[in-house]
C-alpha cells in the first residue's frame, strides 16, 4: 500500500508543481464551454436546454486532452522502466496513476461545473445533476482513456491519435451521463436508470482499464 500511496502522492505533486499543468485541463473546460454560446447564440432558453450536453462535451474533451501525458512523461524520463521492475503489480500501479490523474484533472472539472452552470442559465437542480453525473462519470473517462494513453506510449505517438482511439470508447459514458443530467433537468425520464448505468460503466472501466493498460504497456516493451 505504501508503494501505491507513494505513486499517487508523487503524481499529484508533480502535477501541482510548476510545469505540471494540473489546472490547464479545467481552464480548457472553461474556455470550451464559454465558446459554445458564440456558436449557438446567447439565447438563454436554448442554452438551458443544451447546457448539460455542453458541459459533458467540455468535460470529456478536457479530461481526454490531459490524459496525453499520463504515461508519456514517465516513459520519457525512464520512470516507466522502474515501475515495470517494481514489486507492485503493474495493474495496481496503473490504478494509482489513473487515480492521481483524476484527482488533479477530473475533480477540478466538477468543482468548476457550478460556475459554468450559471453561465449556461442552468438552475440549481440541473447544475447539481450535471456535477453528480460528472462525479460518477469522469472516473470512467479517466480509466478508459488510460487504455488509449498506454497504447499511445506503445506506439510512441500522442495527441490526436489518442483522441481518435479514446473518443469512441467514451460514447457510452457520454450517452448515459447526458441522459441522466437531462432527465434531472427537464424530465420526463427518470434520473435513476441512466445514472445507475453510468455508475456501472464507471465500475466496469475501473476493472477493465487497468488490466488493458497494463497489458498494452507490457506488449509495448522496447
Partner 1 sequence: MKLSARDLRCVRGGREVFSGLDFTATAGEAVAVIGPNGAGKTSLLRLIAGLLASGGGSIALEGGNDELTLPEQAHYLGHRDAMKPALSVGDNLAFWRDFLGGEASDMEAALTTVGLDHIAHLPAAFLSAGQRRRLSMARLLAVKRPIWLLDEPTSALDTAGQDAFASLMAGHLADGGILLAATHSPIGIPAQELRIGTIA
Partner 2 sequence: MTLIELANPSRFLALASRVLPWLVAATVIVLAIGLYQSATAPDDYQQGATVKIMFIHVPNAWLSMFVWAVMSVSALGTLVWRHPLADVAQKAAAPIGAAFTFLALVTGSLWGRPMWGTYWEWDARLTSVLILFLMYLGLMALWRAVDDPSRAARAAAVLTLVGAINIPIIKFSVDWWNTLHQGESVFRMGGPTLDRAFLIPLMVMAVGFTLLFVTLHIAAMRNEILRRRIRSLQMLQAGKPRTAA
27 binds, among partner 2, partner 1, none (CB under 5 to 8 A by kind): partner 2
Q: Is 155 in the site for partner 1 (CB under 8 A)?
A: no
Q: Which is nearer to partner 1, 13 or 157 (CB)?
A: 13
186 binds, among partner 2, partner 1, none (CB under 5 to 8 A by kind): none
**Alpha carbon of residue 173 to chain centroid:** 10
Q: Check: CB of residue 23 under 8 Å from CB of residue 98.
A: no
Q: Which region among 2-10, 22-30, 149-157, 159-167 touches partner 1 (by CB under 8 A)?
A: 2-10
Residue 197: all three cell numbers together: 448505468
- The site that binds partner 2 (CB under 8 A) totals a number of residues, namely 19
Q: Which region among 33-41, 70-78, 126-134, 203-211 touches partner 2 (by CB under 8 A)?
A: 33-41
Phi, psi of 93 (to 5 degrees): -60, -40
Q: Which is nearer to partner 1, 15 or 33 (CB)?
A: 15
Q: Which region among 19-27, 76-84, 95-103, 166-174 touches partner 2 (by CB under 8 A)?
A: 19-27
Name the residue among 15, 126, 116, 112 with its Cα closest to residue 66. 15
* Distance between CA atoms of residues 216 and 151, nearest Å: 6
3-state secondary structure of 194: helix
Residue 173: all three cell numbers together: 459514458
Q: Is 188 in the site for partner 2 (CB under 8 A)?
A: no
Name the residue among 107, 50, 48, 100 with its Cα closest to residue 73. 100
3-state secondary structure of 157: coil
Q: Is 159 in the site for partner 2 (CB under 8 A)?
A: no
Please select the residue that binds partner 1; options are 18, 39, 45, 160, rule is CB under 8 A. Answer: 18
Residues 61-80 that bind partner 1 (CB under 8 A): 76-79
Q: At what angle do helices 90-101 and 69-76 cross, to 10 degrees?
A: 120
Residues that bind partner 1 (CB under 8 A): 2-3, 5-7, 9-10, 13-14, 17-20, 76-79, 81-88, 221-222
Amino acid at each position: 500500500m505504501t508503494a501505491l500511496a507513494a505513486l499517487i502522492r508523487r503524481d499529484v505533486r508533480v502535477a501541482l508543481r510548476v510545469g505540471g499543468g494540473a489546472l490547464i485541463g479545467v481552464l480548457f473546460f472553461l474556455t470550451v464551454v464559454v465558446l459554445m454560446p458564440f456558436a449557438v447564440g446567447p439565447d438563454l432558453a436554448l442554452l438551458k436546454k443544451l447546457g448539460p450536453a455542453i458541459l459533458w462535451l467540455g468535460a470529456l474533451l478536457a479530461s481526454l486532452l490531459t490524459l496525453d501525458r499520463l504515461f508519456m512523461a514517465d516513459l520519457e524520463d525512464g520512470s516507466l522502466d522502474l515501475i515495470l521492475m517494481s514489486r507492485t503489480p503493474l495493474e495496481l500501479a496503473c490504478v494509482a496513476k489513473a487515480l492521481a490523474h483524476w484527482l488533479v484533472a477530473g475533480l477540478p472539472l466538477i468543482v468548476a461545473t457550478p460556475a459554468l452552470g450559471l453561465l449556461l442559465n442552468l438552475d440549481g437542480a440541473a447544475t447539481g445533476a450535471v456535477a453528480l453525473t460528472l462525479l460518477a462519470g469522469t472516473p470512467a473517462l479517466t480509466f478508459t482513456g488510460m487504455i488509449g494513453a498506454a497504447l499511445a506510449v506503445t506506439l510512441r505517438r500522442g495527441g490526436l491519435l489518442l483522441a481518435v482511439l479514446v473518443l469512441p470508447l467514451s460514447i457510452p459514458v457520454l450517452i448515459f451521463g447526458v441522459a441522466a443530467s437531462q432527465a434531472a433537468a427537464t424530465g420526463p425520464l427518470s434520473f435513476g436508470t441512466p445514472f445507475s448505468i453510468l455508475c456501472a460503466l464507471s465500475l466496469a472501466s475501473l476493472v477493465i482499464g487497468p488490466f488493458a493498460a497494463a497489458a498494452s504497456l507490457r506488449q509495448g516493451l522496447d
